[in-house]
Structure 1
Amino acid sequence: MMLNLEEFLHSSVLEIEPQDDATHVLLSNIYATAKRWGNVAYIRKNMKKNGVKKEPGLSWIENQGMVHHFTVGDTSHPDMRVINGMLEWLHTKTKKAGYVPNCNVVLLDVEDDEKERLLWVHSERLALAFGLITTPSGSPIRILKNLRICVDCHAAIKCISEIVQREIVVRDMNRFHHFQNGLCSCGDYW
C-alpha cells in the first residue's frame, strides 16, 4: 500500500526527531493552519503519550531589581488585577487607533472572539502591561522573550508604543525589536 505525500512527510518528520518538541509543534501548526483539527489533536495526543512537552512562551521584565516572568495566559502574578485593567485599557485604545487583531496566529479551533482574547494574554503583552504600570512615565520598557514574538503581538506593540509614547524593547530569540512612535527597528521583518 502506498502512502500519500502527507502521510509520508508526517511519519518521516516524526521519525527523524521523535522527542523534539519543535518538530511536533511545527507539524501541529501546519495542520492547524489548514484547519485539520483531527490531525492537530492526534499530534498533541501523541506528544502527551510520548512525554514530549512544548516549550512555553515566557517573557521577563525587570522592575526595581526584581525579575518578573510571565507565561501565556498567566494569572499567578500578584498584580494580576491591575495588569488585566491595563490590558483592557490597551485593548480599547489600540482598537480606536486602528489596530485589527490577526486571529490567524491563534492555531486553536475556537471562535474569533476567543482568539482575540487569547492574543491579549500572550506573555509579552502581560509583561508590557506590568511594565506600563510599574515604571516611570516616559522611561523605556525592556522585555526578554524566549521564543519569537508573534506577528500580532508585533503589530499590537507597535501601536501601543505610539499610544503610550514610550520606547518598548522586546528581545526575542531572533533579534531586538525597538518599538517607538508606532514603528519597529526591524522594519517589520522579524
Structure 2
Amino acid sequence: MGRLDDAAICRLRIWDNCVKRTPRCRWIEVNNTVHDFFMGDRSHPLTDKIHLMLSKLGMRLKLAGYEPKTELVVHNVHEEEKEDALFTHGEKLAIAFGLISTSHGTTIRIVKNLRVCTDCHEATKIISKIVSREIIVRDSSRFHLFKDGKCSCNDYW
C-alpha cells in the first residue's frame, strides 16, 4: 500500500521479538551434489561465474521483453536497486548455476521450499525460451515446467 516506512518499523519489531520465518531457499543438484541458494547469495565457490551468467541473462531478458516487477520489493530503495534485488533471487541464481554447470540441452531442476514469486515465474518463462532449455521448478504448491517461454501451470499457481 506504499507504506514502506511502516513496513520497515514492523520488520524491526519482528526482529526485536525474535520472530523467525522459514528462510527462502532453492536447491539444484548437479553431479550428485546439492547446491543451495538464497536471495543475494554470494557464498558459492562459483559466485563470480554465476553473477557473470546473470548479467548476460539480464541483457538477453530485457531484449526479450522482460520487465522486472519492482513493486514486489518492499524496501524503500531506488528503482535500480529494486531491479538488482529481484535479479539476485535464489531461483535466478540457481538457474544461472545450472546453465554454467550443465551441458546445453540438459533440463535444469530446481526445488524451493516456498512458492515461486511472480517475477521469477515470468523471468523463468523467458529464460527457458532464450536458452532453449526446459526448467523444472518444484515449489511448495506444484511442479512448474518452463519450456519455450511457457509454463505448465498456465500462469495459475
Q: What is the TM-score of this pair, normalised by structure 2?
A: 0.97
Given that 1:140 and 1:169 are in contact with CA atoms closer than 8 Å, whether structure 2 keeps it comes out as: yes
For residue 166 of structure 1, what is the amino acid of its counterpart? R
Which residue of structure 1 lines up, in the alignment, with residue 37 of structure 2?
A: 70
Is 1:179 the counterpart of 2:157 in the alignment? no
Distance 1:152 1:41 in 2: 22
Which residue of structure 2 lines up, in the alignment, with residue 85 of structure 1?
A: 52
Which residue of structure 1 lines up, in the alignment, with residue 69 of structure 2?
A: 102
Aligned partner (choices 168, 173, 187) of residue 135 of structure 2 = 168
How many pairs are equivalent?
A: 157
For residue 4 of structure 2, what is the amino acid of its counterpart? W
What secondary structure is seen at the aligned counterpart in 2 of 1:88?
helix
More helix as a share of residues? 1
The 5-angstrom pairing of residues 105-120 of structure 1 reads 105-120=72-87
For residue 136 of structure 1, what is the amino acid of its counterpart? S
The 5-angstrom pairing of residues 42-53 of structure 1 reads 42-53=9-20
Question: Displacement, 1:41?
Answer: 2.2
Given that 1:56 and 1:72 are in contact with CA atoms closer than 8 Å, whether structure 2 keeps it comes out as: no
Is 1:152 the counterpart of 2:119 in the alignment? yes
Distance 1:96 1:155 in 2: 14
Question: Displacement, 1:94?
Answer: 0.5
Given that 1:147 and 1:172 are in contact with CA atoms closer than 8 Å, whether structure 2 keeps it comes out as: yes
Which consecutive residues of structure 2, in runs of 5 or more, have no partner in the other structure?
Answer: none
Is 1:54 the counterpart of 2:14 in the alignment? no
What secondary structure is seen at the aligned counterpart in 1 of 2:20?
coil
Sequence identity percentage: 50
Distance 1:180 1:37 in 2: 36
Distance 1:54 1:106 in 2: 18
**Cα deviation per residue 1:65-91 (whole Å; 9 max; x = unaligned)?**
000000110000000000000000000
Given that 2:128 and 2:148 are in contact with CA atoms closer than 8 Å, whether structure 1 keeps it comes out as: yes
Higher relative contact order (CA 8 A, sep 6+): 2
Given that 2:5 and 2:76 are in contact with CA atoms closer than 8 Å, whether structure 1 keeps it comes out as: no
Question: Displacement, 1:36?
Answer: 1.1
What secondary structure is seen at the aligned counterpart in 2 of 1:68?
strand
The 5-angstrom pairing of residues 102-141 of structure 1 reads 102-141=69-108
Given that 2:54 and 2:93 are in contact with CA atoms closer than 8 Å, whether structure 1 keeps it comes out as: yes
Distance 2:15 2:70 in 1: 26
Distance 2:23 2:2 in 1: 22
Q: What is the TM-score of this pair, normalised by structure 1?
A: 0.81
For residue 129 of structure 1, what is the amino acid of its counterpart? A
